[in-house]
A and B are shown apart, each in its own frame.
Chain A
Amino acid sequence: MDIKRNYYEDIELFKSNTILVWSILFLIFLAILPWFIMKYHLLGLSIYIVNLIAVHAIVAIGLNILVGFTGQISMGHAGFFALGAFTAVILVLRWSFPLWIALPVAGFVSSAFGFILGLPALRLKGPYLAIATLGFGMTITTIIKRMEFFGGRMGLQAPKLELFGTPMKDIHYYYVIMVIAVLMTIGAVKLIKTRVGRAFIAIRDSDIAAEAMGVNLTYYKTLAFAVSAFYAGVAGGLYAFILGFINPESFHLIMSITFLAMVVVGGLGSVMGPICGATLMTYLDIKLQAIQDISLIGPALVTLSQKYMSIAGISNIAVIVYGLIMILIVLFEPLGIFGFWIRTKRYWKTWPF
């Protein structure tokens, strides 16, 4: 039942036993997922793709704290992601830090930059803020590209890490990333429910009223940027190690926009939404590259593409389908995938009415 008996139940992580049971089942599912993937190639997934999804999910959760909850916008998150990646790799490579120290440090370096970027956000809103952050994202990667310290244009090779004497493989990274992703998800849920999260949402809904109620806008807006950048930084560090190689060119503008799209497609203003968004978008992005393998539709699309578009062909179609799916989701479910989930839940709860 939904009866509450004390105030703690309002902020509890598991609001009911049902949720607790499902959460545990989900964790068990995450724990045995690699085994399923290796044995059955579930949905054509590989552990690498799942790792990538989890990393993107972390970025999306962080970005959503900024965009969905605080109502600011960032088109420069690839910049924070890059900062995290390069910091982590350099710490491990040059000063041989262990990963568990390098990752938080990467997060804090990113969040320090996030704090700095947050300062112009105090004066800018909407499209203006979008452009300012976009400039930041592009500048960061350009600076990294020009500095020998960061490996210049060639990028950096992430060192091979070892776990108890054996080199770490995708499967090991999988568990590292999942633990971090789960912890950071829980952190975000809790943060939103308590004082700081409420201040963020208040700023989004009415900044004048928030300030009149004692919320220091300067502090909380920059804080939102810092927290969001922290998530991106940690994710960036993980990304560097699962990819094994980073180069400034790969943290481009489209990446920032994809992060933003993950949040919007998944559902603004929820923690689960961005995770769904990151899952779908990452999966599609990778799988659509092999769109020609789908029976019947595949070959037809190849002919279409070769006839009317460039000879290189199929990559066009992949992008078009990707875009089309995005448009359809936003058009028919403005709350994103999460909105779809809410509707399904309501349907089952009230069935047969």
Chain B
Amino acid sequence: MASILKIENLTIAFGGIKAVNNVSFEVEKGAIYSIIGPNGAGKTTIFNCISGIYPPNSGKIFFKGEEITHLKPYRVAKKRIARTFQNIELFSHMSTMDNLMLGRHIHMKTGVWRGATFIYKNSKAAKEEIEHRGKVEEVIDFLDLQAARNQFVINLPYGTRKLVELGRALALEPELILLDEPSAGMNLEEKGDMIFSIQDIRDDLGITVLLVEHDMNLIMDVSDRILALNFGEKIAEGLPEEIQRHPEVLKAYLGEEEK
């Protein structure tokens, strides 16, 4: 299958530290691709480079054959790449509904004038609003967020917030979704649900998933391919079984055996 995301020799340094050093990989369309590595390996940094938050020092990022290396984050989002954040970046004083509606931002057109002056149900702004609320409702059903629909995010429990963030990314109707530790801080049951959600995202919605995660059970369950990083360098790439046995990966995680 064709690759949807291609990263070539990506390097980014903060001061003297090379957070990501010469990393290349390709993600196939419709795959669940995971990036693993110990703390500080550069996983989130790669995400930030893809979504345009950090400009890389060198290297190129291609999305569907188109270079997106130095695009601003909002332009990357317009290419239909959505993401979640490690430490939940939700709009905490908005309801779940409104958070998800913001995910529809790039699909909507209402400007200041139309938004401030619509008066009846059939005016353009109201029609658009109603249409997209319908779309958001589908996402709410998909993730079972009905109970949280009209609650302010700040009042929701942690696990639910993670789901809302996932929902917001899905509302964007992405072709590629970047999930930064989706199961961090969740209990076992929630983690189980998250595994199903991630698989459903790929199987039912046809979205390619790029995943950063620390929970090895989750990773091994859902991933099609895995990239292992350590200190910003690529140490291994391959199928989950290969990675599990790879000596470099074991060394990075468990340390070297004393001889």
Residue numbers of A with Cβ under 8 A of B are 6-8, 10-11, 187-188, 190-191, 193-199, 201-202, 204-206, 208-217, 223, 227, 269
Contact = CB atoms under 8 A, between A and B. Distances in A.
B30 interface: no
Interface string B88-117: 011111100110011101101111101111
A206 B130 CA distance: 25
Contacts of B72: 211, 216
Nearest to B72: A211
Contacts of B162: none
Given A212-B73, A215-B102, A198 B121 contact: no
Contacts of A191: 112, 115-116
Interface in B2-35: none
A217 B75 CA distance: 11
Contact of B133 (A7, A212, A213): A7
B76 to A, nearest CB: 8
A191 B129 CA distance: 12
Which 8 A-B pairs rank lowest in CB-CB distance, beginning with the nearest? A214-B77, A209-B89, A194-B115, A205-B91, A214-B106, A7-B133, A187-B116, A211-B73
A265 B115 CA distance: 27
B88 to A, nearest CB: 9
A198 B98 contact: yes
B45 to A, nearest CB: 14
A220 to B, nearest CB: 10
Given A205-B91, A205-B92, A196 B78 contact: no
B171 to A, nearest CB: 9
Nearest to A69: B93
B51 A212 contact: yes
A201 B78 contact: no
Nearest to A217: B74
A297 B169 CA distance: 61
A199 B98 CA distance: 10
B53 interface: yes
Contacts of A193: 115
A199 B105 contact: yes
Nearest to A207: B89
Contacts of A195: 105, 108-111, 115, 125, 128-129
Given A194-B115, A196-B115, 6 more contacts: A188-B116, A199-B102, A202-B91, A206-B89, A209-B91, A213-B168
Contacts of B83: 212
A10 B89 contact: no
A180 B85 CA distance: 43
Nearest to A11: B129
A201 B94 contact: yes
Given A191-B112, A197-B115, A202-B102, A213 B82 contact: yes
Contact of A201 (B85, B91, B169): B91
B101 A198 contact: yes
B102 A198 contact: yes
B134 interface: yes
Interface string B166-192: 001100100000000000000000000
Contacts of B118: 190, 194
Given A190-B115, A196-B110, A209-B90, A10 B97 contact: yes
A289 B155 CA distance: 44
Nearest to B137: A7
B115 A215 contact: no
B93 A201 contact: yes
Given A202-B94, A208-B53, A190 B117 contact: yes
A204 B101 CA distance: 16
Interface string B117-129: 1100100011011
Contact of B74 (A204, A211, A227): A211
Contacts of A187: 116-117
Given A11-B126, A194-B129, A214 B93 contact: no
A209 B106 contact: no
A343 B154 CA distance: 19
Contact of B93 (A188, A210, A227, A269): A269
Contacts of A223: 112
A11 B128 CA distance: 11
Contacts of B82: 212-213
Contacts of A227: 112
A196 B116 CA distance: 9
A194 B89 CA distance: 21
Interface in B62-85: 72-74, 76-78, 82-83, 85
A202 B165 CA distance: 13
Contacts of A194: 110, 114-115, 118, 125, 129
